[in-house]
Amino acid sequence: MAAFGSFSLLIALALAAYNLLAGGLALTLLATGRPARISPERLAESARRAGIAGFAAVTASAAALLWAVFANDFSIAYILEHSNRALPGAYKFAALWSGQEGSLLLWAWLLGIYGLILRLRRKSDARLYAYAGTILAGVQAFFLAVLNFAAPPFALVSGAIPDDGNGLNPLLQYPEMVIHPPLLYLGYVGFSIPFAFALGALMMRDPGERWIKITRSWTLVTWLFLTAGIFLGMHWAYAVLGWGGYWSWDPVENSSVMPWLTGTAFLHSVTMQERRGMMKSWNVWLIFSTFLLTLLGTLLTRGGLVSSVHAFAASPLGTWFTVFMGIVLAVCIFTYIYQRGQLKSEHHLESMASRESSFLFSNWVLMTACFVILWGTLFPVISEYTEGAKITVGPRFYNSVEVPIGLFLLFLAGVGPLLPWRAHSLGAVRKNFILPAVAMVVAAIVSIALGANPWKSDGFDSGSFYALVAFALAAALLTGIAGEFWRGARVLARKERSNLFTGLWLLTRRNTRRYGGYIVHIGVALAIVGLAGAAFNRSEERELALHDRIAIGPYTLVCDGFTEDSNLNYNSEYAVLNVYRNGKPLLQMTPEKRFYLASGQPQTMVAIHSTLEWDLYAVYEGANPDTGRPIIKVFLNPLVGWIWFGMAVMALGALIALVPNQSQIASVVTAASEEELNHESSDQGGLR
């Protein structure tokens, strides 16, 4: 199987190289119009088919590695290092991306899937698709070269073959880790598609509208995958690492959020280009930057530049990725300089009181947030180069900068929908701000009454202040968006002689992209409310004898025993805690510590009781070696459930935005109702 997998990878590399060279030659011949012995169209078609065949070859290689995992073929070094016989079947799949070589193979396979979809689509812009397919082949050729020469997944064990493997990393033996990495990779790899179209459009002097329209759905799907991957990673860290949090500003965490920020900025600014013909150069560089940041994230994970619980061991792959990123950046800069005349804006910003200005400010703020994270992440590398020692920055640095930036973004997300397109006076839209402003004040008063008062007896609490601002701004945003839905739905319900819910359905189906985006903003507001709750986290830690208790908030946890268990994969010890709320029995929690037999590594299994109000979070930190009693740490984390609920709402909004508009509804609204709708809609432009 090792020989088959290695041969498949070699064939895939040859096919990707042919796709790149033949496709590049065909496009050159078509661009210059020079006569050739072979038809450029036939050459381009052969390159396209080579790309399809390359997907089959990479798929065969990935299947071979999975087969080896399930067959317990420990003659392959990768299988020996990342699997064992007692590993449950679901986690054997996770072995594919648990190590350096397998994760790169997963990247190449997902890129092959995206490329296959691109090459099989029936399209009218055949030349633009040919450019994109050729550029994608160049990216695929790089990853396949790495797999063949620098990180071969089918390398054989030297000497005697052990009877069993070292086992999967205990951190990965959790259900979400079967889902989180593939989703994250789908997001990372997916940004290759809009990058390929953007660079291809620039090479063929296309002004930009076509590649934007073609990649709109690609980009939104990719963004959705990346968003889900980030949130699942947060939940994994929360449920497995046992420190009571979900985001530590770890370098590899940062590497996932940076392309998310630039991708989010791109999704907003493309609307400017479509509606007003603005920000063409900006959009090109946003997508270039997003793709480069996905490569940087891969470099940080594999190059040994930074220390992280998520990173692989240091390896020579850093040089490969650094050189490739340099080549990509050079190609982008050269192509942009040579073709920048095609990217002139058709209009300019006419008013600060317009939706264009809110998009523009949002983009700048998102890019500022990305730059701060990039600077903090690379600061250890920069300091080592300049000072001779690695100096790291921690959560305090990131929180001091990113929290205010995030609140300003929340403000812009609330203001944007209330502003019209193009020039307009603030007075004309002032009424749209009245209810959100009232909601903001009421939310601030209620929050202070419930305990979010930053002015405490021992001084000013900045954490509580930021949480208070977040609650107030979230209330304003939710009120403003609710008003947008209500105004439009009321008009449609009246014209259709139906109820408000039918009007809401018709409104959303009429412009799924716009109202799906509003739902995404609702999800963001809910998630930020959950994040703001961290300012009020509490914790207690005690060594518990039988029937001892530990109290936190309204909860009391009583130790009912501690015991041990074992299976073929791990031994475990855990405490049994009876939980009472306000003196009444509520439930039983069993926080656990596992010791995996194959790897000899421990793993924490947290017990969590979640409500929308807060999470009760119990950690078994092990037994005191002197007394044998369990040490229990308990957290009371307010509003954490809002984070996961907000993520679900964001995903729902993105899915709605992907649904095509129901154009037949346009005929329902007459010219008179359209005027009324325009009058009542916040952007003065109706439901287009």
Q: And the tokens for 570?
A: 């791990």
- Report the pLDDT value the prediction gives residue 679, as an integer from 0 to 100: 46
Give Cβ neighbours of residue 564 (< 8 Å, ≥ 6 apart): 571, 572, 573, 574
- Report the pLDDT value the prediction gives residue 498, as an integer from 0 to 100: 84
- Report the pLDDT value the prediction gives residue 392, as an integer from 0 to 100: 82
CB 383 within 8 A of CB 391: yes
Average pLDDT over residues 463-482: 95
- pLDDT tens, residue by residue, 290-300: 999 999 988 88
- pLDDT at 302 exceeding the cut of 50: yes
Average pLDDT over residues 452-464: 84
Beta bridge partners of 566: 571
The residue to which tokens 């005690």 are assigned: 542
DSSP 76: B
Distance, in Å, from the CA atom of 629 to the CA atom of 562, rounded to the nearest integer, reads 8
The amino acid sitting at 167 is: G
Nearest to 137 by CA among 22, 10, 291, 284: 22
Provide, rounded to the nearest whole percent, the portion of the chain with pLDDT above 90. Answer: 58
Nearest to 181 by CA among 104, 244, 84, 268: 104
- Report the pLDDT value the prediction gives residue 265, as an integer from 0 to 100: 94
- Report the pLDDT value the prediction gives residue 425, as an integer from 0 to 100: 58
Average pLDDT over residues 306-318: 62
- Report the pLDDT value the prediction gives residue 553, as an integer from 0 to 100: 93
- Report the pLDDT value the prediction gives residue 686, as an integer from 0 to 100: 37
Report helix, strand or coil for 490: helix
Least confident of 120-124, 328-332, 516-520: 120-124
* pLDDT range class, residue 421, cuts 50, 70, 90: low
Q: And the tokens for 337?
A: 């300089």
Estimate the share of the chain in helix, then strand, then coil, as percent rounded to the nearest 5.
Answer: 65, 10, 25
Looking at mean pLDDT, say which of 10-14, 318-322, 434-438, 583-587 comes out highest.
Answer: 10-14
- Report the pLDDT value the prediction gives residue 188, as an integer from 0 to 100: 93
Distance, in Å, from the CA atom of 441 to the CA atom of 473, rounded to the nearest integer, reads 9
- pLDDT tens, residue by residue, 79-100: 999 999 999 988 999 889 888 8
- Report the pLDDT value the prediction gives residue 299, as an integer from 0 to 100: 84
Q: Which long-range contacts (CB under 8 A, 24 or more apart) does 376-383 make?
A: 376/249, 376/254, 377/251, 377/254, 377/255, 377/258, 377/300, 377/306, 380/305, 380/306, 381/305, 381/306
Distance, in Å, from the CA atom of 557 to the CA atom of 581, rounded to the nearest integer, reads 9
Least confident of 297-306, 372-381, 582-591, 649-658: 297-306
For residues 100 and 195, the model is more confident at 195
- Report the pLDDT value the prediction gives residue 622, as an integer from 0 to 100: 85
Q: And the tokens for 226?
A: 């990346």
- Report the pLDDT value the prediction gives residue 671, as an integer from 0 to 100: 41
- Report the pLDDT value the prediction gives residue 350, as an integer from 0 to 100: 59
Distance, in Å, from the CA atom of 498 to the CA atom of 2, rounded to the nearest integer, reads 65
Distance, in Å, from the CA atom of 458 to the CA atom of 460, rounded to the nearest integer, reads 7
- Report the pLDDT value the prediction gives residue 670, as an integer from 0 to 100: 44
Give Cβ neighbours of residue 450 (< 8 Å, ≥ 6 apart): none
For residues 387 and 655, the model is more confident at 655
- pLDDT at 663 exceeding the cut of 70: no
For residues 305 and 603, the model is more confident at 603
For residues 125 and 543, the model is more confident at 543
